[in-house]
Amino acid sequence: MAIPAYLWLKDDGGADIKGSVDVQGREGSIEIVALEHALHIPTGNSTGKLIGTRVHDLLVFTKEVNASTPYLYKAVMKSDWHGLVTALVLMFPLFLQLTRRFCHESTIMQNV
């Protein structure tokens, strides 16, 4: 059985974007089904030497339809997702404890 991640989002006004999780200690979070992220360092085609600093690709998460879905769709319809997320916290349950693994302030959501 897969171990889900949990996501807490805040809008640009500081209000929580509520998910549908009702597990104790994770109430109101959004359960993440899949998470995708890539990191690469540019290299020269002919030499193979490093020619730049590391580049992070987009952090893409997949979630089920839940209480946050209408809010996210509303942002898409208004083309207003650029200021949608001001705090993004991903937590993974490891060894029966919820462990913060990723926390980012001032996140800009590019697409929904």
> Contact, 17 vs 6, CB < 8 A?
no
Assigned domain for 100 exists = yes
Average of pLDDT values for 15-28?
A: 86
Give the residue from 45, 52, 58 showing the smallest Cα distance to 109: 58
Assigned domain for 16 exists = yes
Assigned domain for 88 exists = yes
Assigned domain for 13 exists = yes
> Contact, 29 vs 5, CB < 8 A?
no
Model confidence over 22-53: pLDDT tens digits? Answer: 988 788 888 888 878 888 999 999 998 999 99
Quick one: pLDDT at residue 50? 92
Instruction: Provide the CATH number for the domain around residue 17.
Output: 2.30.110.20
pTM assigned to the model: 0.65
Range of the domain at 29: 5-34+65-105
